[in-house]
Structure 1
Amino acid sequence: MRADAEKNRSQILNVARDVVTEHGADASMRDIARRAGVGLATLLRHFPTREALFEALLCTNLDALTRRADELETSTSADEALLTWFRELVAFTQSYKGVVAMMAAAHTNPDSALYASCAAVHSAGTRLLLRAQNEGTARADMNGDDLFAMITALGWAVDQPSFAPRADHLVHLITSAILTNRSSRGR
């Protein structure tokens, strides 16, 4: 990639991160281009669809969450690993309003630009859940799809202004339902 094209791409991503944080997944592509100081055609050459732009923005975070699961899997107890990763994933979903719906849609759509990263996060969560189940610290009657659905539902809930202030409490409630003997422990 030419240096000026790489500079434009980097500038677009930096601005897009801010605009999406402010306005969520419905942020205007035209507004992102304007604020990045490039034309809409330039933005669309780099990111032909909104999903492609989100892929570039979100994949870095999703891939980091996948690596984080790998770290936690070897560095801490199974229940603490799952709890820590769950909280970090919910915090990520809160950083980009509307991202939960995109992740939920991409999760089962191999044609989606976000599919690979969402599938990797799903797989990482499943591994953490299975480890906790094998150690007897997580419910045996759930699977990775259930875990992903709970994260998605919780991500949607805390995306709503009326529930956002209760995010930590809601995470505690959900993780207490997943992890055995968790409800009596501290947060």
Structure 2
Amino acid sequence: MTTSPPGCRPETPKDQKPRLRADAQRNRDRLAAVAAEAFSENGSGASLEDIARRAGVGIGTLYRHFPTREHLVEVVYRRELELLSIAADELSHREASDKALEEWMHRFVSYMATKRGMASSLKLLVTSNSCMFTDGAALLRNALNDLLQKAVADGTVRSDMETEDVLHALSSIYSIPDTPEWRKRAHRLIDLLMDGLRRPKLG
């Protein structure tokens, strides 16, 4: 049974919103997907009007789903973490354990790009919805831990590294200066991290 972190109130039926019509749900999902791309590409300069246009809807439709920029950012933030969690499961079933871990960490760079683009709004959400970040951190840690432990069990990566160590190293990507080259540098750091994690092949 999943329990909420201290201070976080679990969602009740009263909190849950009515189910959307299929077309409305498609619009909402499309807006969230396009917004993630826009925040990743343009950072804080991404406009809601441009997001609506790229999603093929009017700005009024966007505001009906997301009354403020922070409402949209919250949905995008949760979506990106859920996609990382899903990716961890899919990769673990499709790739060798060390390759799955490596590919997931490269996808982590895309998550970081979107997060950097939403930084100012996320700061506003820290005080109003701290549980969102607590839940998000747990989801991220669990995804990485599953991949790392499978690679350890297979003997493809070192066993003396803890999940928190790797997560801390990954999170340091966020501090890379925001230049046109930052993504390339981030992916190089992932390669360097994997070189340090892999166990050398014998013989």
TM-score range, shorter chain: 0.5 to 0.7
> Which whole-Å CA distance do the structure 2 matches of 1:7 and 1:81 have between them?
30
- Equivalent pair of 2:97/2:147 in contact (CA under 8 Å): yes
The answer for unaligned runs of 5 or more in structure 2 is 1-19, 53-57
What TM-score, normalized to structure 1? 0.66
The answer for unaligned runs of 5 or more in structure 1 is 183-187
Q: CA deviation at 1:174?
A: 1.4
1:76 to 91, 95, 113: 95
Which residue of 1 is the match for residue 116 of structure 2?
A: 98
1:17 and 1:127, CA in 2 relative to 1: closer, same or farther beyond 3 A? closer
1:166 and 1:122, CA in 2 relative to 1: closer, same or farther beyond 3 A? same
Structure of higher RCO (CA pairs closer than 8 Å, 6+ residues apart): 2
Answer yes or no: is 1:85 the counterpart of 2:101: no
Which residue of 1 is the match for residue 146 of structure 2?
A: 127
- Equivalent pair of 1:125/1:144 in contact (CA under 8 Å): yes
Q: CA deviation at 1:84?
A: 1.6
Q: 1:1-187, aligned counterparts within 5 Å?
A: 1=20, 9=28, 13=32, 16-17=35-36, 19-24=38-43, 26-27=44-45, 31-32=47-48, 36=52, 37-38=58-59, 43=63, 46-47=65-66, 50-94=69-113, 96=114, 98=116, 111-157=130-176, 159-181=178-200
What TM-score, normalized to structure 2? 0.62
Q: CA deviation at 1:125?
A: 0.5
Deviations 1:72-97 (A, max 9, x none): 22333221221121112223323x26
